[in-house]
Structure 1
Amino acid sequence: MPEAERDAVEAAIEGELRLLDPEVRASADLLGAQLHPEFIEFGSSGGRFDRTDVIVALTEEGARPAPPITASRMTGVRLAPDVVHLTFDTDNNGRLAHRSSLWRRTEDGWLLYFHQATPFTAPPASSLTRHG
C-alpha cells in the first residue's frame, strides 16, 4: 500500500477508535470534533440520524456506566485522496454489528462523514470449525 494511502487509512482508523473511547462518547465537544458537519448515520436500529441526533444520543449514553465497546476486523481503503472507507465489527455488551464508515479529509482533519451499522448474530461455535 502506498504511503499516502496508508497514512489516510491510519488517520481514519485512529478517528474511529477515538469515537469508541468512553471519554469521547461522553463529551459533546470531543464527539462533535470527530463528526463532519453533514454527518449522517443509518443505525443498527434502522433509524436515520444526523450529527445533532448522534451527539445527543451518545453523550446521554456515555453518561451511564457501561462496558467498553470493542472493535475487531477493522480494515480500510482510500477511495479518493480525501475519502477513506472503513469496515469493522463491534461488540457492545453482546450486541454485535457490522459497521461501515466514510471519513473525509477537511481543513479540520479527517472527520466521520457517514456511518452504517447492521446487527448480526455470531454463528454457533460448531459452525466455525471445518469438517472435511
Structure 2
Amino acid sequence: MELLDSDVRREPDRVRELLHPDFVEIGRSGRRWTMSATIAALEAETSRIQPETDEWLFNEVSPSLILVTYRITGDAGSSRHASLWDLSGAIPVVRYHQGTTVRANDE
C-alpha cells in the first residue's frame, strides 16, 4: 500500500528501500521499467488521490517469495496487478511487478 501513496512515491530513498536491486516492472503500456527508471518516474509524478484496491490474494511461491495480486480502481479505470515480493532480507522488497489495464466489460 505504501507504494500507492503519492508522498512515498516521490521519496526516492524510501522507494529504493522497497524495491529489490534487480527490480523490473512491466507497465500497463507494456513498457519494461528498471529500478532506476521507476524511481525517476515516480519522483516526477504529480500528487494523485490514492486509488481504491480490492481482490487481494497472497500466494506463497517459495518460503522467501510471495506473489501478491490485486485490482486497482481509479479515475483512469481498472487494472490488475501482480507483484513478486522477496522476503529473504531485513524487510520485504518487490522484485517484479506487472500491471494490466482491464477493459470495462472484462471486469
TM-score, normalization by structure 2: 0.90
Question: What CA distance in whole angstroms lies between the structure 2 residues aligned with 1:95 and 1:33?
Answer: 29
Report which of the two structures shows the higher radius of gyration computed on alpha carbons.
Answer: 1
From 12, 17, 23, the counterpart of 1:33: 17
Number of residue pairs matched?
107
| Counterpart contact for 2:6–2:47, Cα < 8 Å | no
Deviant stretches of 4+, over 4 Å: none
Cα deviation 1:51-108 (Å, max 9, x = unaligned)? 00111111111xx232222211111111111000011111242232111110011323
Q: Provide structure 2 residue ranges, at least 5 long, that are not aligned to the other structure.
A: none
Q: Does structure 2 retain, via aligned residues, the 8 Å contact 1:101–1:116?
A: yes
Aligned partner letter, 1:36: H
Query: Greater helix share, 1 or 2?
Result: 1
State which of 43, 46, 50 in structure 2 corresponds to 1:59.
Answer: 43
The structure in which a higher percent of residues are strand is 2
Deviation at 1:41, TM superposition (A): 0.5
SS at 2:7 equivalent: helix
Question: 1:6-17, aligned counterparts within 5 Å?
Answer: 17=1
Identity of counterpart residues, as a percentage?
A: 26
